[in-house]
Amino acid sequence: MRFSEVDFRILDDTMVVFPAAEVKESIDLASVRAEDDLLLAYCYIDHLEGLLLAVLTSGHKEEDRFVFNDPDGDRKVSLKLSGLGESEFEFYEEDDDRFYDAISSVGQMDSEDLLMTRGMEFLDSMREPFDPDVIRVLLTKENIPDEECLVRIGKAQEHRLIGTLCEDPKQPFGYRAGQTLAFYVSKKEDGQPYCIADLNYRSVLTKAELEDGSLLKGTIHAFNLDQNENSFAEVLQILRDSEVWIPVKNDTLLSVSEKDLVPGLLQRNDKYYLPVFTDTAEMKDTTKKQPRTRMGMLKAIELAKKNEVAGIVVNPFTEPFSVHKKLFTTVASMKSLLEELN
């Protein structure tokens, strides 16, 4: 039988035998002998790479039995099964304890979420061949043509799945490869299931996406290009979960608690504002020379309230975004969208 003919669930966590001819020259195992025409490998699912074959050793067949060399120490070669889909193979079902140690060091402990999603057979028609954690998802957003993109599942929640985009969409959805989104399973008119992500509003974030401030900065830029209620709300939502840089007047921050911080305020006419920055590159040279601290936006709001400012201005020297003090409660009451993927 061929690898492409077998369900990934059956292949996972098995030992398989396949011809060495296609890959023999590309692997570096001392145990591969010139006369050997078979390879023994452990097949498993890697969350980021898909189905892999960890080559253990080589051998040949004598009459009706396999004869394999001892494993090649700690050296292992992993091959993507996607490149061997049409290769013939057999399962190796002999109880051969020579390979137990080698197998135990391969692969990873997958989360219960991933194991559960791999058992969802209704997703099979949308899975990428030989990469079962990657799903084809239809992206949809108002005034933008729908587009199908690949998403790697990371987490399962009630009524939705959360994953990471594997590629940059061709349409301007405001998402790029590596960013996280939530998607749902729906049905077409003919009853066939499909996955869809409604990108008219953001429904999930990760700390990694927010870490360098580029997502917040990009969302502010998008708002300035098209100022509407939805894009404004999206900036506030991302801001709610973001960490920002704040210049302070304290001589040193080594022994200063947050309640004793004295922020450097900006004055516009007779009003004062708390300046915050997505990253230190957004600060002016004079501001960069001041001590600065990083804190979550909710703590920045508390600092702004304490100093009785008229509002908060994000990146005031480049592409500013203002949050009036009347919106402090609105931002603070927003539900966090932070999720940690497996």
Mean pLDDT of 189-199: 92
pLDDT at 256 over 60: no
Condensed to tens digits (0 to 9), the pLDDT of residues 147-182 reads 999 999 988 887 899 999 999 999 988 889 999 999
Decide which of 241 and 203 is more confident: 241
Poorest-pLDDT segment among 93-97, 206-210, 264-268: 93-97
Q: What is the DSSP string of 43-80?
A: EEEETTTEEEEEEEEEEEEETTEEEEPPP-TT--EEEE
**pLDDT value of position 275:** 94
Q: How confident is the model at residue 116 (pLDDT cuts 50, 70, 90)?
A: very high
**pLDDT, the chain, mean:** 88
pLDDT at 73 over 70: no
Picking from 221, 240, 340, 259, the residue whose alpha carbon sits closest to that of residue 298 is 240
Mean pLDDT of 220-235: 89
pLDDT at 105 over 80: no
pLDDT at 252 over 60: no
**pLDDT value of position 31:** 54
pLDDT at 33 over 80: no
Percentage with pLDDT > 70 across the chain: 90
pLDDT at 76 over 70: no
**pLDDT value of position 290:** 77
**pLDDT value of position 228:** 86
Decide which of 132 and 226 is more confident: 132
Percentage with pLDDT > 90 across the chain: 54
Mean pLDDT of 19-47: 77
Poorest-pLDDT segment among 47-61, 62-76, 85-99, 228-242: 62-76
**pLDDT value of position 91:** 95
Per-residue tokens: 208: 């990694």
Q: How confident is the model at residue 291 (pLDDT cuts 50, 70, 90)?
A: confident
The CB-based long-range contact list for 3-10 (8 Å cut-off, 24+ gap) reads 3/81, 3/84, 3/85, 3/86, 3/87, 3/89, 3/130, 4/85, 4/86, 4/129, 8/45, 8/51, 8/118, 8/127, 8/130, 8/132, 9/118, 9/119
**pLDDT value of position 166:** 96
Decide which of 210 and 291 is more confident: 210
Q: Which residue has the tokens 């600060």?
A: 283
**pLDDT value of position 1:** 92
**pLDDT value of position 315:** 95
